[in-house]
Amino acid sequence: MENRFGFKDFFLIFLIVVVIIMLGLAMKQYDRQYQLVLELRDQGHDQLQELEAIHRDLQGGGGFGSTSRPSFAELNQGEDPFPSLRALRNEGKYDEGDWFVQNFGAPVGKVTPLIAGDLYAYVIQMRILETMAYQDADTLKFEPLLATSWTISDNTKAWHQYVDGRLRDGKTEEDIGGEADCPPAVAIDFKLRHGVTFSDGSPFTADDVVFTYDWIMNPKVDAPRDRQGLHQVKSVEKVSDYEVVFNFKVPYYLAFITAAEQEILSKKFYSSYTPEQFNDSVGLLIGTGPYRLPSPTDWKPTTGRVELFRNERYWGLSPSFNRLVFHQVENETTSLVMYGNGELDAIGLTPEQYDLVKVKPEIMDKSQLMIYSSPLTGYDFIGWNQARNGKPTIFADRRVRQAMTMLTDREGMCKSIFRGFATPAPGPFDSSSPRHDPSLVDWQYDPAKAKALLKEVGIEDRTGNGVMTLPDGKPFSFKLTYPTKVETIDRMMQYIRDNYARAGVDMELDPVDWTIMDQRLKGQDFDAISLAWGGGTVEDDIRQMFHSSQIKDQGDNFVSYNSPQFDAALVDTEHTLDDDARMKKWQLCEKILHDDQPYTFLSNGKSIRLFDKRIKNVHLAKTGLNYVQDWVMPIPWYVPAAEQKYKQ
């Protein structure tokens, strides 16, 4: 058949070409309009900041007096929350754009604030929610965030006069401090930042701060950990739309941090839910921070990745990354392959992985290597459950707990599994901390002494077959519950099981998913459990783990440790505002825990991390690195425009 090209065909091609040209011109015009919108947005944002500055000047704003007690901390009260990053941007650095892609070692089950108990959920929340102030990782000074300034009033003299007159009635200082007529021991007055909105556009005011406190303290809200964090707060009072005061029941060394680092919830958003609806939710998350979820209500758990997007309404310095992406791959080997393939921008390595990759130029040549210790790293442990179903367990006798620690070759574990990148943990405080008593002699691996202690309580090898039995003749056997699918933890638990087996103690490994782990913790339904605690602050409070008040209501004292001596020492420490005196009292608390061994404190590890070289401004700091995912705001890292990989 003959092909013919006629006028009609020519006309159709001509029309197609015209349409293509018009589409191209339209797209170009759209791009110009979009850039104009961005410029207008930035101009409007700058004008808003200028108007706010003028407004503050007219109100007589600016810095307020610093604390009258130097021992509280040296508090930096400038109005700009981002001085170092703004300086970088003024130098042509800290470029906007690109994504930062990481991996979570476990899937995230829920992101609703207060009720989401795992670290990864908290990482997400701290990119979306904001606090009054944050502690700079390099200087450890507090920088303003939702607050522009603050005044700390130390009323301990008046407080003591009132309390001393009431103690004879048999009440505690906290009980008396909560009385309406008792003056607050410490009062912290925050001046709030104007012009801040939540990502839905609703304004941030003092009402949101008061609502957050009231919501947490509502016993119908499933937030025992956060209620514990605010247990020393007497009240949070609104002075005006942009001023709020935190009043404390007792002198408390963490008073400022407690108030300044509370994540603020939106009253407009969260008050539309009942406590029951809130408790049953998984994805209610909205804040004033630089990032947001695609929807504040529709997030649901998934095996795919979690993505956070730039908050277009963010009030502060625009963050560097357009998007934060978190994969949820549980297998350590798989995550390392992903990093090698360029699918991840950063990765934490186990010592074993580091030994494998440090000789691979295809990985190391593209990477920045960071090996560091941090006061926030914390420790891993085995917790010995002392009460189950209302009855004491075999671990209620501290001699058994001491013996289990002496049967655990922690030094050997640190050398063989962590390859020297960890040391035995002496207790809840790192050995470099002033809270640690350097004269305290740590428990050593000593099976002979351990067996002698066990014999005192009737646990011994009665038949000579190498099996330790209880007084009733049954084998000394228990289950150790721990998170599943983490190779390093698996090796640790197998190593410890072998330690115990050589001594005739039968420990059954019980790896479980986090959802099951969470339920067992809440129900205190386990024999022994292995987890890790990380430090929330440089000098965190260990009340939530070890004070007897935290046994009930699903508190974090899930091993039911109950020591009146420790409780009294801890309360005394918490009330001591003088830094030097408080360090000595921390050492007494440490000594009591050392003798009682509610946990076998396993190890303090060093972090080994690789970063893609395109990620800039990554450096060591007083907290380890200059960015700790769940602690530092804002993110100081960035990618230069010329090296950016993701363009959306």
pLDDT digits (tens, 9 = 90+) for 440-457: 999 999 999 999 999 999
Per-residue pLDDT averaged across 358-371, rounded?
97
pLDDT digits (tens, 9 = 90+) for 479-488: 999 999 888 8
Largest Cα–Cα separation, the chain: 113
What pLDDT is recorded for position 439? 96
Structure confidence at residue 569 as a pLDDT band (50, 70, 90) = very high
Is the pLDDT at 5 greater than 50, yes or no?
no
**Which one is predicted more confidently, 604 or 537?**
604
Torsion region of 419: left, alpha or beta (phi above 0 gives left; psi -120 to 50 gives alpha): left
Domain boundaries, the chain: 59-334+614-648, 346-373+607-613, 379-605
Structure confidence at residue 628 as a pLDDT band (50, 70, 90) = confident
DSSP per residue, 497-524? HHHHHHTT-EEEEEEE-HHHHHHHHHHT
Query: Would you give the DSSP letter of residue 329?
Result: -
DSSP per residue, 564-590? HHHHHHHHHHHT---HHHHHHHHHHHH
What pLDDT is recorded for position 168? 78
pTM (2 d.p.)? 0.78
Among 39-48, 364-373, 615-624, whose mean pLDDT is lowest? 39-48
Structure confidence at residue 61 as a pLDDT band (50, 70, 90) = very low
Is the pLDDT at 79 greater than 90, yes or no?
no
Is the pLDDT at 297 greater than 90, yes or no?
yes
pLDDT digits (tens, 9 = 90+) for 405-427: 999 999 999 999 999 999 999 99
Task: Tell me the C-alpha distance between 452 and 407, whole Å.
Answer: 11
Query: Would you give the DSSP letter of residue 318?
Result: P
Q: What's domain 379-605's architecture? A: Roll (3.10)
Per-residue pLDDT averaged across 357-370, rounded?
97
Task: Tell me the C-alpha distance between 526 and 480, whole Å.
Answer: 8
pLDDT digits (tens, 9 = 90+) for 137-179: 888 889 999 999 999 999 999 999 999 988 877 888 989 999 9
Instruction: Report the chain's C-alpha Rg in angstroms.
Output: 28
Task: Tell me the C-alpha distance between 378 and 373, whole Å.
Answer: 10
Main-chain phi, psi angles of 39, to 5 degrees: -65, -45
59-334+614-648 CATH fold: D-Maltodextrin-Binding Protein; domain 2 (3.40.190)
Query: Are 373 and 361 within 8 A, CB to CB?
Result: no
Query: Are 582 and 573 within 8 A, CB to CB?
Result: yes
Q: Which two tokens stand for residue 227?
A: 């209620």
What pLDDT is recorded for position 34? 40
What rounded mean pLDDT belongs to the chain? 88
Nearest 5°: the CA angle 369, 375, 377 is: 65
pLDDT digits (tens, 9 = 90+) for 108-144: 999 999 998 788 999 999 999 999 999 888 888 899 9
530, 466, 477: which is closest to 508 by C-alpha?
A: 477
CA dihedral defined by 20, 23, 29, 33, rounded to 10 degrees? -150
Query: Are 442 and 429 within 8 A, CB to CB?
Result: no
Is the pLDDT at 65 greater than 60, yes or no?
no
Task: Tell me the C-alpha distance between 59 and 467, whole Å.
Answer: 77
Task: Tell me the C-alpha distance between 115 and 538, whole Å.
Answer: 24
Is the pLDDT at 351 greater than 90, yes or no?
yes
Determine the 3-state secondary structure of 8 from DSSP: helix
605, 612, 607, 603: which is closest to 645 by C-alpha?
A: 612
Structure confidence at residue 78 as a pLDDT band (50, 70, 90) = low
Task: Tell me the C-alpha distance between 238 and 207, whole Å.
Answer: 7
What pLDDT is recorded for position 634? 86
Task: Tell me the C-alpha distance between 603 and 415, whole Å.
Answer: 11
